[in-house]
Structure 1
Amino acid sequence: MRIGVLDVGSNSAHLKVVDLVAGGAPRPLAAVKRPTRLAEAIDADGVVGEDAVCRLVGSVGEAVRAAGAYGAGELIAFATSAVRDAANQQQIVAQVEAVTGVRLGFLSGRDEARLTFLAARAWYGWSAGRLLLADIGGGSLEIAHGEGQEPALAVSLPLGAGRLTRAHLPGDPPARKDVHRLRAHVYERLADICAQVKEDLDGRPSVRPVATSKTFTQLARLTGAPKRKAGPYARRELRLDRLREQIPVLADRCAEARAKLRGVSRPRAPQILAGAIVAEALMTTLGLDRVDICPWAIREGLMIRRLQAMTDPAAADEETAHLTQAVPVFPAPGRPSLRPVPSLSA
């Protein structure tokens, strides 16, 4: 079965077209990624601006063309917190469907954590033992841990890098007092859940801490991890001591200057400081001196869930069923421009 998985996030709409074969790993064929830049277009009332909505519609349209051009039979389409939490969410969803035929669905924060955990488990396998997962998105932070395919705990907190940047870091570069206040806010919000996680893990066998998301990936590269061209199997980790060294560097620079640092992309440069503060606070509170960077995340979790349902219908659940739809007919001149995806890459 050939499917497309479309993830509409705060910075981009990212489609992956993959072949699913029972007993095998998802085989990537192509990907298309187009900007949405929703994070910078949300006003104080939580409304996404019209220009950004139009940009989103165009990006989803390109994804539909790509899925159709590569013969995908199904499309799993979902939007993360930037759209899910928007004050004009219904208008955005209606506009996207009216123009492209795509019905954007949503996952709860807990289900995002569960599916991302499933992807990490598939990547590392059973030999990894108990996994402790963290994922910093644009609007939320997901945390999960467990020994099986399903986590024993899965939670979502409103500590996404984009959300915190808008609410707490108005300057470019931000004032030092704002950075200190944000750090205190993050530590306060993490205290209870991290205490619960530590209690859950106390006395258990060794835990493998892993992290996903572009924020963690770019922070790892900033602190010395291998480049993307090294491939998905190169080990990448984020070390707490090196992260702490880079936070003052990020805080002293404007977004334009941050984008010139190793590994930091221009779209994420405005919010990478907030992401670094969350990562540092989380690792410190949980007593982690390093985390491994997992190249698979929520898109791959959805692929695996669909693959499970192919061989065992009982494995299908409501979290993904409402996201799956036929690929709309959305004609466009010529073949869309896609980049090839190496096997098993993120």
Structure 2
Amino acid sequence: MRLGVLDVGSNTVHLLVVDAHPGARPLPAHSHKATLKLAELLEGDGAISEEGAERLSAAVAEALRVSEEKGVEALLPFATSAVREAPNAERVLGRVAQEAGVKLEVLSGTDEARLTFLAARRWFGWSAGRMLVLDIGGGSLEMAYGVDEEPDVAVSLPLGAGRLTAGWLPGDPPDPADVGALRRHVRAEIARVVGDFTRLGPPDRVVATSKTFKQLARVAGGPARGGEGRVLSRTALQERVPGLVAMPAAERAGLPGVSQGRARQLAAGALVAEGVMDLFRVAEAEICPWALREGVLLRRLDRMPTG
């Protein structure tokens, strides 16, 4: 059957259309994206602005139209941190349901981490052993660790690249004092939860998902391993971070693999990636092409009857 996964994130509204059935690998059929940058359309108290709500409703309506054109039988719509943490989330969700005709399911941060872990586990398989999975989104950082499909520990922190850029790095290029303050903040937040993971022992494989990690792997010159995804080295990343945070967004957009829409927030994303790899003592992380959207899809397929 043809399924659609509608991901309302802090940066984009992304519709992924796949042909899938239980027990088979999902086959991508179509992808539709709308750049929203919801993390930058928040009021001082974190509420979604009127402009943000209007743009969100329009983007969801357009995604629904595309899904119908592509023959989607069932749509799996969900929203993450920017909507989840907004004090006016209920009103905004009601507006989207009324205007766009789509009822968004709001995932918790823990569910984000768990579903992303599931996607990475299915991608790498059981031979990957104990996995640590890292994901930097626009609004939050997700981390999960385990040996099965359900992680033993899953944590979400408000350290998304878009959120931190809007709140901590207003300059372009960022002011060095702001960079230093953000670096200390990021490491202090991550350090609070490191013990929850390290007490379980070292992972056999460290996996990184999300556009931020993919871009950083390209920028840091991460090689492909055995024809699979790229590898991000902590040493290579640490060498590139000072230059990344010092350059303006327009210059970052000219780097390999960096899109213009995400260039400004790559500095904050690099500080988060460097911090988490350093504090978890990760020498290198393998980039996984599957993440939260695939996790939502796989969980839905698991619950469908095989007949």
Partner of 1:100: 100
Q: Which SS does the other structure have where 1:46 is aligned?
A: coil
Equivalent residue in structure 2 for 1:293, among 271, 282, 287 = 287
Runs ≥4 in structure 1, deviation > 6 angstroms? none
Alpha-carbon distance in structure 2 between the residues aligned to 1:225 and 1:69: 38
Equivalent residue in structure 2 for 1:266, among 237, 260, 279 = 260
Identity over aligned residues, as a percent?
Answer: 51
Asked whether 1:212 is paired with 2:209, we answer: yes
Deviates more, 1:253-262 or 1:171-180: 253-262
Count residues with an aligned counterpart. Answer: 306
Partner of 1:167: 167
Alpha-carbon distance in structure 1 between the residues aligned to 2:137 and 2:22: 31
Normalising by the residue count of structure 1, what TM-score does the alignment of the two structures yield?
0.84
CA RMSD of aligned residues (A): 1.8
Kindly provide the CA deviation profile for residues 232-257 of structure 1, in whole angstroms up to 9, marking residues without a partner as x: x6321111111112211122112222
Report the AA paired with residue 246 of structure 1. R
Change (3 A) 1:43 1:257: farther
Equivalent residue in structure 2 for 1:284, among 278, 281, 286 = 278
Alpha-carbon distance in structure 1 between the residues aligned to 2:107 and 2:22: 25
Counterpart mapping for 1:184-203 below 5 A = 184-201=184-201
Kept in 1: contact 2:119–2:292 (CA 8 A): yes
Partner of 2:61: 61
Partner of 1:248: 242
Alpha-carbon distance in structure 2 between the residues aligned to 1:251 and 1:120: 29
Q: Which SS does the other structure have where 1:119 is aligned?
A: helix
Alpha-carbon distance in structure 2 between the residues aligned to 1:22 and 1:38: 34
Alpha-carbon distance in structure 1 between the residues aligned to 2:222 and 2:228: 9
Report the AA paired with residue 229 of structure 2. R
Counterpart mapping for 1:110-259 below 5 A = 110-201=110-201, 207-225=204-222, 234-259=228-253
Alpha-carbon distance in structure 1 between the residues aligned to 2:252 and 2:155: 30
Q: Which SS does the other structure have where 1:209 is aligned?
A: strand
**Structure 2: 5+ residue stretches without partners:** none
Q: Which SS does the other structure have where 1:92 is aligned?
A: helix
Report the AA paired with residue 283 of structure 1. M
Report the AA paired with residue 268 of structure 1. R
The alpha-carbon deviation at position 58 of structure 1 amounts to: 1.9
Partner of 1:324: none
Alpha-carbon distance in structure 2 between the residues aligned to 1:241 and 1:263: 19
Report the AA paired with residue 262 of structure 2. R
Kindly provide the CA deviation profile for residues 313-336 of structure 1, in whole angstroms up to 9, marking residues without a partner as x: 9xxxxxxxxxxxxxxxxxxxxxxx
Kept in 1: contact 2:4–2:75 (CA 8 A): yes
Q: Which SS does the other structure have where 2:301 is aligned?
A: helix
Alpha-carbon distance in structure 2 between the residues aligned to 1:30 and 1:196: 39
Kept in 1: contact 2:11–2:162 (CA 8 A): no
Report the AA paired with residue 9 of structure 2. G
Report the AA paired with residue 224 of structure 1. G
The alpha-carbon deviation at position 26 of structure 1 amounts to: 1.1
The alpha-carbon deviation at position 312 of structure 1 amounts to: 7.0
Q: Which SS does the other structure have where 1:299 is aligned?
A: helix
Alpha-carbon distance in structure 1 between the residues aligned to 2:258 and 2:236: 15
Change (3 A) 1:257 1:49: farther
Alpha-carbon distance in structure 1 between the residues aligned to 2:261 and 2:305: 39
Kindly provide the CA deviation profile for residues 5-44 of structure 1, in whole angstroms up to 9, marking residues without a partner as x: 0001111110111122222111221111111121222232
Deviates more, 1:132-141 or 1:163-172: 163-172
Partner of 1:344: none
Kindly provide the CA deviation profile for residues 155-192 of structure 1, in whole angstroms up to 9, marking residues without a partner as x: 11111112222222222212111111111111111113
The alpha-carbon deviation at position 87 of structure 1 amounts to: 2.8
Alpha-carbon distance in structure 2 between the residues aligned to 1:163 and 1:259: 19
Report the AA paired with residue 97 of structure 2. E
Deviates more, 1:123-132 or 1:88-97: 88-97
Q: Which SS does the other structure have where 1:171 is aligned?
A: coil
Kept in 1: contact 2:179–2:245 (CA 8 A): yes
Normalising by the residue count of structure 2, what TM-score does the alignment of the two structures yield?
0.94
Alpha-carbon distance in structure 2 between the residues aligned to 1:192 and 1:94: 35
Partner of 2:26: 26
